[in-house]
Every structure is written in C-alpha cells, then in structure tokens.
Structure 1
Amino acid sequence: MWKPDRLSAQPLYQQIANDLERRISYGEFPPGAMLPSERKLAEQLGVNRSTVILAYAELRSLGIIESRSGSGTRVSKYKWGATPKHTPNWHRYVEGGSFLPNLPFLRRIREALQQNPELIDFASGELASDLAPAEEINALMKVNQYTEYLGYNHPQGYAPLRKSLVQYLHQHRDIQTTDSSILITSGSQQSLYLITQCLLAPGDAVAIEDPSYCYSLPMFQSAGLRLFRLPVDHRGVRPEGIRSLYKKHRIKMVFVNPNFQNPTGTLLDEERRNELLRVTSELGLPIVEDDPFSLTAYDGASRPPLKSIDAMGSVIYIGSFSKIAASGLRVGWMVAPNSVVERLADARQQMDFGLSIVPQKVAEQFLNSDYFQPHLERLRMRLLYKRDLLIEALRKELPGLVSFMVPQGGLHLWCKIIPEVNDHRLLEEAIRRGIVFVPGSVYGSDSGYVRFTYGRSKADEIEPGISKFAEALRSVLS
C-alpha cells in the first residue's frame, strides 16, 4: 500500500489528497464509490486522523468528493463540474454475478494480513519460506535453462511432467496410472473448480466431510450445489451416512480428504477406507479424493490413498506441490478416467489456453532431481518441530481452556475451546493483539473451534503467538 513520504517537503495531507485524486481519476474509486472513513484511512496510512481530515477537505473544495453526515464520504458523481451523466452502478455489478465472494471471516483475515504483514499468521495454509525448497529450485533453474518454444502447450499439461508424475505416483502413492489419465492444474482448487463446473449441474447434491475445507470454498455454492455433511471423528470421516444421503437427496458425488484432513488433521483408518469404497461402489458414486498432505507424515510412513486400493475406478485423485514444495509454483494434478480428463482439459483450455509451461518445467525438474527426497525429509522434521512448539505453547498458556488431538502429519491443529465463546469477537481481539487464525465455523463447525496452521508462522513466533491468543481468549471470556 502507498504511504506518504515523511521526508518530502510537501505536506502529508497534500500527498494524501494527490494520491486519492490519482486513484479516483484511474477509476479505482469510480463516481459514487464510498471512500474509507477518516479513522480507517489514518490507520492504513499511519498518520493522524486530522491529516486525513485536511486531505478530504482539500478534495471537497475541488468538488472531487462529497460528505454527508451519517453517510460517509463518496466520490462525487459530478466531480469535474460537467453536466450530470449516468455512470454504471458498480456496486450492483459487484454484488451480482453467480460466483460468490469469499466468506466474511476469510475476507477479514486477508484484509488484516494486507494491512499488517507483521501479524503472526496461524491462518494461511501454505508453507513458510524456511520450509520451501527455494535454493534447490534456484539451482535447478540455473543449470537447466529453458530454450524450448514458449507457445501453448498440450491441453492436459506439459507431457514430461505428466510422465514424471506417473513414476512419482507409483513410487510414493502406490497409484497405477498413465500420462493420458493425468491433467495438470494450477493447484487443487482449480481441480475442484473444474469438477464442480463440468461434472455436476446446479441443484445436484454432494456429500462433504463435517468439518470440511470444501465448506469454506464458495465455488460449491456458486455452482448451485447442495451440500450434505458426513461427520468426522478421531478415526476420520464416517461413511455409514452415505446410504441415507443417497436415499433422501440422491447425492451424486462424495468429496473427502482422508490423510491428515483439513481442518482436523485426522487420518481415515483402514476399516473406514474399505467401507467408504464399498458403499460408494454399490451406489455407483464417484469419490473426489483431495490428498495434499500424505507425504508430510512425520514418521515417514506411507499412508495409502483411496486411489491406491480403488479396484472399481471410482476415485478422482487430486494432488499438488503446494503443501510439499511451494504454493507459488501453482502446479497441481488430477488422476481420473481419460474421458473425464479430456472433458476437463477442454473446459480449462476455454478459460486460459492452459498453464504456463515454465513452472511445469521447474516442477518436473525438481521431481526428478536428487533434491526431492532430502527436501521431504527436512520438511517433515521441521513441521514436526513446529507442531511440538505449538502443542507445548497451548498446554502452557491455556490449561483447561482448550482440547485438541495431536496430528501426525499435515499443517493444521484443530482446537476446541471448552468455554462458550463468540468467534467474531475472538478473532477481532486476536487481530488487535497481533495474530490471526481461522475460526472453525468457516469449515462448517459450531462456534468455539479454531484451526491453527503452523506451516506459515516462523518457529520463534509460535510461543508468543499462542500467548497473544490466550490473552485475547481470556479478554473475550471475561
């Protein structure tokens, strides 16, 4: 965000007025748009409120903005003194459309992190810089210069990467597949988006876990899908409810995250895995298996995905590099029947003509390099260390106030606050003290649950971060 230059000879209020006038002229704030309140803008820019008052007064004197008591400050519809003309009602357009915005809690968290990057981040579900293989990828890019034609690529993705994924999935996930059954995507969320848009129709019913990361994605509601929940306990999702959901609502698909589930961190046990496959096969229901965390198992043991024991071809398998390497690569994949892959590849090509070839090439090189396996081992070790720091801090700072299950892999710890608490007040109090987290209600749970993600925060931030959370919780409870 732009900030005024305190060393400039020009007064701060004039710099602010000039910046706002520029942004208005560029259309960032179109005619009729609401401007930030004086107090909020002062906080964003790190100046006194009186400075913003002077800046707004300057713009009002030029007829660029107008203020009304109780209604705030808006950009004038007639700011250049011209004859009144009709301008688009951008607010109506923004509020319209079929693709819904993010949930309010998630928008608030994003806003808080943008305004204050120094917040201790227990919310973002990505790896911190100390967990990503930045040095290894830089080394590979220096050695392997990209000299091929940089045109549109195969609709299913970069062919050498798909061939490498065949070997990777066989070696690490015990999945037998071919490169023609793999679609490269820009991460797991694009895979889910393509499925909801192309394989389902408005009004279709689907089953998701409860709580579930899927519940936090408005793309399901944007597609007009009806969501029905399958409870998750310490053994993972409970598949016995599928038959009743099928009978009552004719569900057409089941979405699960069996290994170190987001947000609970649970691992679906073997008995339930077999039951889930048996029930869905009897009903002819496809399963979408999202598997971003399996290779983060702290003991290094392989947790087989459903796809590896899928004898009937019922499972669409989704993976990505985001949780094991770097989210910024934006490289994910889907394993599905070739007819499904071709349908989704066609749809994705209509959207963007395919992914950038460069990150796919980097991912292919990293996957086949001597760096990959040592990186996974370091990643597990560092995540385990951060998890233990988080658990120690929770036990020290909040004895008797929280309960949780210790995850054996992944990035998330699911925490139940024992006393009744208001999610909104707790989040705002935590932000005021310098931390962010995701309230459990974002994932469909009742108020009083928290997802702490320890992949993004630095190790030396975890204890002070939980201390600040404890202060916020005690303040709200009191």
Structure 2
Amino acid sequence: MWKPDRNSKKPLYAQIADHVEQRIAFGEFPPGSLLPSERKFAELLGVNRSTVILAFDELRSLGIIESRTGSGTRVSRTKWGAIPKHTPNWKRYTEGGSFLPNLPFLRRIREALAQHPELIDFASGELSADLAPVREISTLMQEKLHAPYLGYDHPQGYLPLRQALVDFLDQYRSIPTTDSSILITSGSQQSLYLITQCLLSPGDAVAIEDPSYCYSLPMFQSAGLRLFRLPVDANGIQPEDLRDLHKQHRIKMVFLNPNFQNPTGTVLSDERRKSLLELSSELGLPIVEDDAFSLTAFESSPPPPLKAIDQHGSVLYIGSFSKIAASGLRIGWMVAPNSVIQRLADARMQMDFGLSIIPQQAAEQFIRSDYVGPHLDRLRVELLFKRDLIIEAMQREWKELVSFAVPRGGLHLWCKIKPEIQESKLLEESIKQGVVFVPGTVYGSDSGYIRMTFARTRSDEIGPGIAAFARALRALL
C-alpha cells in the first residue's frame, strides 16, 4: 500500500494530492466514483486528517474532485473535457463474474493485518517463520540444486518430486502409490479448486463437515455446488448422517479433514473410518481427504489416512507442505486414479502451464534429505509448546469466559465463548486491542465460536495476545 514519503521535501498533502490524481488518471477512481472519507483516508495513509483535508482542497481547486454535504467526495464528471468521456464501470465488473470474493470477516482480517503489521496474529493458518526449515532448504539449494531447465515442465509436475513423494507418502503416511498417480499443485486449495471445477457440475450436491474450513472457501459456491453439512462431534462425523444426506440430496462427493480437523482439531475415530469407507464403496461415493495436519501429531502417531486403508479406490488424497514445512514453497499434491490425474493436469496446464520448477526441486531435495525427519520432530515439539502456552494463557486470563477441547495435533484451538456476544464487535474491539482471530461463523458454525491459531504467533506473543483478547472480550460484556 502506498504511503507518503516523510523524508521528501514535498509536503505530505501535495504527495497525497498527486497520488490521488494519478489513480484517477489511471481509471482506478472513474468520474463520478466515491472517494474514501477524509477520516478513512487519513487512517489508511497514517497521516492526520488535516493533511488529507489540505490534499482534497488542492484537488477541488483544480476541479478534479467535488464534495457535497451528505454525499461525500466524488471524482468530477466535468473535468475530463467538454464532451464527457466514459470510463468502464469497474465496480460493476468487480461485483460480477462467477468467482465470489472472500468472506467479509476474512477480508477485514486481511485489511487489518496489512494496515497494522504489529497485530498479534491468531488468525493466519500457517507456521511462524522460526518453524520453517529455512536453513535446511537454503543449504540444500546451495549444495545440491543444479541449474534447472526453465521451460514448461511435465503437466503433472516435476518427475523427481513425484518420485520422491512416492517414498515420502509410503514412509510417513503408509500410502502406496506411483508417480503417475500424483499431481503436483500449488497447495491444497488448488487441488480443491481443480476438483470442484473439473469433476463436479453446477447444481451437484456435496457434503462437508460442520464446521469446516471448506465453508470458508467461496470456490464451492462459485462452482454452483450445493453444500450440505455433516455435524462434527468429538469423534468426527457420523457415517450414518452421510447416508441420510445421500438419500435426500444424492450427494456426489464428500470433503473431509479426518486428522486434527480444521477448525475443531478432532480426529475421526477408527470405527467411523471403517464405516465411512464401507459406505463410500456401497454408494460409489468419492471422498476427498485433506490431510494437512497429520504429521503435526504431538504425542503419538496419528491414525492412518483414509487413503491408506482404502481398498476400492474411493479416496482422492490431498497433501501439502504448507502446514509442515513452508507455505511459501506453494507445493501440494494429490493422489488419485491416473484418469483423474490426467483430467486435472490438463485443466491445470490451461491455467498456468505448470508450477515453477525451482520450488519443486527444493521440495524434492528436502524430502529426500536427512533433514526431513529431524525437522518434523522439532516441529511437533515446538507446536506442542505453543499449544500449551496458549492453553495456560487462556486459563489464566479468561477461563470463566471460554471452553475448548485440547487438540492432540494441528495448529488451531477451537473455542466456545460462553457469554453471548456479537462477533463483528468482538473482532473490531480485538483489533483495537492489538490482536486478530477468526470468528467461527466463517467456518459455518453458530455464532459464539472462534478459531485461535497458535502456530503463526511467536511464543513470546501468545501470552500478551491472549491478554489483549481478554480485554476486548471484557470490554464488550
């Protein structure tokens, strides 16, 4: 985001006036469009309101903008020549199209973090910088990364990486597969996007967990899919609920996160896993298994993925490095029947002609190296430490106001706020206090739940962050 240069000899108000005039000339603010209020503009730019008033006065004197009491400040319609010229109505275009924007709460959180980088971040679902294997990957790139071919790669992804993933998935997740059954993607979300766009049609009914990370992704609604919910309890979903939904709505596909589910942290029980796979085979119903968090299990080995015990080829398995190594690598994968892989690889090539070869090489070298095992051990220890820190801080600061189940893996704590409170007001008050979180309704839950991610914050920020949230909560009670 542009900011005026306080070291420049040019006055701040003049810099702002020039910047606004340039954006108007570039068509970002078409003739007749409403500008932000003086107060809002001052907040965005980090200046006094009086500075913005001077800048707007300068633009008004040139006839570039005009203000009316009660109507705000707009770009002038008459400045641009005797015969009015028509700039495309970009607002109408941006509000159109079939691909929906992110949910308002998520946009507000992103906006707050962009404006105030010092906020303590319990919202972002990723690892902190100190948990990523930066030094290990840097060493491997210096020592072993050969000069790559910088042309288009294989549609399914870099072959040595797919071959390395065959061994990795067998060793760490007990999944037997072949390189021809793996598609490399730019993370789990691209895998989900390809599935919703290529394997399903508008109007199809799909089942998701309730609450579910999938509910926060507008790609499902953008694809015209009908979402039906499977309630999650302490042992995951009930397979019989899926049977009932299938009878009523002819479910075409089910999307699950069986291990350390996002956002609740629950684990699907062994008994329900077996029943679910039997039901899937009986109905011919595909299961999309998003296995982002299994390798973060804190105290014991997690249950095997559904894919590892799938005897009928019903499961499309999705994984990623984002939650176990580095989200910036943008490396994910899908394991599926070759016919599905070929269909999705063709679609992906139409989108971007394949991923960059360099991060794929880095990922391949990392998972073949001696670093990966020690890194995963350290990751689990550090995440367990942060989990215990956030629980201790919650019990100290606001034990009487919240309840939660202790997760055995993953990055998140799913909390129920006991007193009734308006989510939007709680989020805004939390931002004022210097902390952000994700309201539970983002994931389709009833009001009163929140997701607190403990992996993104530094250890020394967790206590102060929970104290800040407690102040926000008490301020509204």
Q: How do residues 125-144 of structure 1 correspond to structure 2 at under 5 angstroms? A: 125-144=125-144
SS at match of 1:289: strand
- Whole-Å Cα distance in 2 between the matches of residues 79 and 387 of structure 1? 59
SS at match of 2:21: helix
Assess if the C-alpha contact under 8 Å between 1:63 and 1:80 holds in 2.
no
For residue 427 of structure 1, what is the aligned residue in structure 2? 427
- Whole-Å Cα distance in 2 between the matches of residues 430 and 406 of structure 1? 23
For residue 45 of structure 1, what is the aligned residue in structure 2? 45
For residue 216 of structure 1, what is the aligned residue in structure 2? 216
- Structure 2: any 5+ residue segments left out of the alignment? none
- Whole-Å Cα distance in 1 between the matches of residues 443 and 293 of structure 2? 18
The answer to whether structure 1 residue 306 and structure 2 residue 279 are counterparts is no
**Which whole-Å deviations, capped at 9, do the CAs of 1:104-144 have from their partners, x for residues lacking one?**
00000000001101000000001110111111111111112
For residue 23 of structure 2, what is the aligned residue in structure 1? 23
For residue 66 of structure 1, what is the aligned residue in structure 2? 66
- 1:86 Cα deviation after fit: 2.0
Label 1:77 to 1:349 Cα distance change in 2 as closer, same or farther (>3 A).
farther
- 1:71 Cα deviation after fit: 2.3
Label 1:269 to 1:71 Cα distance change in 2 as closer, same or farther (>3 A).
same
SS at match of 2:400: coil
The answer to whether structure 1 residue 287 and structure 2 residue 287 are counterparts is yes
TM-score normalised by length of structure 1: 0.98
SS at match of 2:87: coil
SS at match of 1:67: strand
For residue 255 of structure 1, what is the aligned residue in structure 2? 255
The answer to whether structure 1 residue 267 and structure 2 residue 267 are counterparts is yes
The RMSD of aligned alpha carbons is: 1.2
Assess if the C-alpha contact under 8 Å between 2:270 and 2:303 holds in 1.
no
Assess if the C-alpha contact under 8 Å between 1:172 and 1:302 holds in 2.
no
Read off the aligned partner of 1:440 and give its amino acid letter. G
The answer to whether structure 1 residue 35 and structure 2 residue 48 are counterparts is no
- 1:74 Cα deviation after fit: 2.4
- 1:300 Cα deviation after fit: 4.6
SS at match of 1:9: coil
- Whole-Å Cα distance in 2 between the matches of residues 169 and 82 of structure 1? 68
The answer to whether structure 1 residue 148 and structure 2 residue 158 are counterparts is no
- Whole-Å Cα distance in 2 between the matches of residues 328 and 306 of structure 1? 27
- 1:82 Cα deviation after fit: 4.5
TM-score normalised by length of structure 2: 0.98
For residue 438 of structure 2, what is the aligned residue in structure 1? 438
- Whole-Å Cα distance in 2 between the matches of residues 8 and 256 of structure 1? 54
Greater shift in the superposed pair: 152-161 or 238-247: 238-247
- Whole-Å Cα distance in 2 between the matches of residues 130 and 350 of structure 1? 36
Label 1:138 to 1:33 Cα distance change in 2 as closer, same or farther (>3 A).
farther
- 1:343 Cα deviation after fit: 0.3
Residues matched between the structures, number = 477
- Structure 1: any 5+ residue segments left out of the alignment? none
Read off the aligned partner of 1:334 and give its amino acid letter. M
Assess if the C-alpha contact under 8 Å between 1:401 and 1:419 holds in 2.
yes
The answer to whether structure 1 residue 121 and structure 2 residue 137 are counterparts is no
- 1:69 Cα deviation after fit: 2.2
- Whole-Å Cα distance in 2 between the matches of residues 335 and 77 of structure 1? 56
- Whole-Å Cα distance in 2 between the matches of residues 62 and 83 of structure 1? 18
For residue 96 of structure 1, what is the aligned residue in structure 2? 96
- Whole-Å Cα distance in 2 between the matches of residues 62 and 138 of structure 1? 54
The answer to whether structure 1 residue 188 and structure 2 residue 188 are counterparts is yes
For residue 377 of structure 1, what is the aligned residue in structure 2? 377
Assess if the C-alpha contact under 8 Å between 1:63 and 1:81 holds in 2.
no
Read off the aligned partner of 2:51 and give its amino acid letter. T
SS at match of 2:195: helix
- 1:244 Cα deviation after fit: 1.1
Read off the aligned partner of 1:336 and give its amino acid letter. A
- 1:216 Cα deviation after fit: 0.4
Between the aligned residues of both structures, percent identity stands at 74
- 1:281 Cα deviation after fit: 1.1
Q: How do residues 331-346 of structure 1 correspond to structure 2 at under 5 angstroms? A: 331-346=331-346
Read off the aligned partner of 2:372 and give its amino acid letter. F
